[in-house]
Amino acid sequence: MTEQYRSEAGEQRSGPVLTTIEASHDGQRIDNFLLTALKGVPKSHIYRLLRKGQVRVNKGRIKPLYRLKTGDIVRIPPLALPQPRDEQRPPTGLCERLQRSILLEDDDLLVINKPAGIAVHGGSGIPFGVIEVLRFLRTDCPELALVHRLDRQTSGCLLLAKRRPVLLQLHELLRSGMMTKHYDTLLMGRWQGGAQSIEMSVQKSRSSSGESRVQVDAEGQVALSLFSPRQCFDDCSLMDVRIDTGRMHQIRVHAAHVNHPVAGDDKYGDFEFNRQMRRHKLKRMFLHARHVEFTLPDSGRHIVIEAPLDPALQRVLDSLNGKVEGK
C-alpha cells in the first residue's frame, strides 16, 4: 500500500500516500482500516495521528470512528517505522500451536480451536495474540480479521474472515442472531429446573486500575443466554449455553448473577468453589466454545463447526465422574 525507503539514518520511512477506498472497505472505520494497512505501526501512534488531524479523508480531518465510503481519498502522512527485528516474530512454538488448532480453512474463512491462555489480540503487555500470529502465518491474506472474540482463558471456536465482504456478512449474522453458538461450561452448584433463558442487560465499566468489568445493568446492552443442564454432580453442573448475543463476559456474568458462577473464573467466580475444583485438576476457567453454525447469505453455504473439548477440561469431568487415570 505504501512506498517505503530508507533514510540516511537507516530507519525505514514511508512517504505520504493517497489511497482511494474501494468498495470492499465501504463502511469500515478509519482506525481499523489504518491498523490493518499500517502493520508494524503502534496502535497508540495511529490514534495520535488521527487526533492531530495528520490523517485526512477527502482533504478534511476526521474522527477515529469515521466510517469510510467508496471513493474516499485517504492521505497517510510520512511515517518512521522501526527496523524489523527477529524478536518481533511470533515464537515458533506459538505459531505451531495455532497452526495445529485450525479446524477449517478455505478462501473465505479460517476457524481455529483457540487454546486457553492465548489472547485473541496483542496489547497490555501481550506481544502476540491469535490475530498477529495468523497474519504472520498468512501473509497472502492482508484482510484477515477477527469475526468475534473469546476471553483469553476461554477455548474453542474462533472465526476469522479472510476477506472484508465475508467479514461484513458474518457481522450481520451475529447482529441478527442468525449465527448459532453453543458453549460448554461447568457451574457451581446443582442446576435446578431444566433449561432456563436468562435475559439481562449488561454494562461494561473500567475500574480506577484500568481493569474491565461487566455487570448486570438495566441501562446496558441486551444480553440473552439459554442455559441447559447436561450433567449434574454433587456440587456443580455441566451446562450447554447458547448465546443469542455476544456481549463481553456475557456467560460469566449471567451465571454469577444467578448464583452459579463458572468454575475457575477468577473475576466473577467463587473463591472457595474454585479452590475445591482444583482438587479435580481444574487449572483454568471451564468455558469452551464448542459449536458454531451459520449460513453465508451470498453463497448459501451452510457451515457447522465443532471444536473438541480441551483434554484438560475432559480430565476434570473424568475426575468428577470418579474415573481414575490409566484405567
Domain 4-81 grouped into CATH 3.40.50.300: no
Grid cell for residue 288: 469452551
pTM for this structure? 0.78
| The residue to which cell 451452510 is assigned | 302
The span from the CA of 298 to the CA of 296, in Å, is 6
Q: What is the pLDDT of residue 10?
A: 37
Span(s) in the chain for CATH 3.30.2350.10? 86-161, 179-320
Q: What is the pLDDT of residue 225?
A: 95
The span from the CA of 270 to the CA of 260, in Å, is 9
Q: What is the pLDDT of residue 121?
A: 87
Span(s) in the chain for CATH 3.10.290.10? 4-81
Parts of the chain with a pLDDT under 50: 1-13, 84-86, 327
- C-alpha angle with apex 321: 320 to 322, nearest 5 degrees? 90
Domain 179-320, second-level architecture: 2-Layer Sandwich (3.30)
- C-alpha angle with apex 150: 149 to 153, nearest 5 degrees? 155
Query: Which residue is catalytic, options 72, 151, 184, 270?
Result: 151
Q: How many CB atoms are closer than 10 A to CB 52? A: 10
pLDDT in tens, 266-290: 999 999 999 999 999 999 999 999 9
pLDDT in tens, 103-117: 999 999 999 999 999
The span from the CA of 141 to the CA of 131, in Å, is 12
Q: Which one is the CATH code of 86-161: 3.30.2350.10, 3.20.20.70, 1.10.260.40, 3.40.50.1860?
A: 3.30.2350.10
Is-catalytic flag, 72?
Answer: no
The span from the CA of 233 to the CA of 265, in Å, is 19
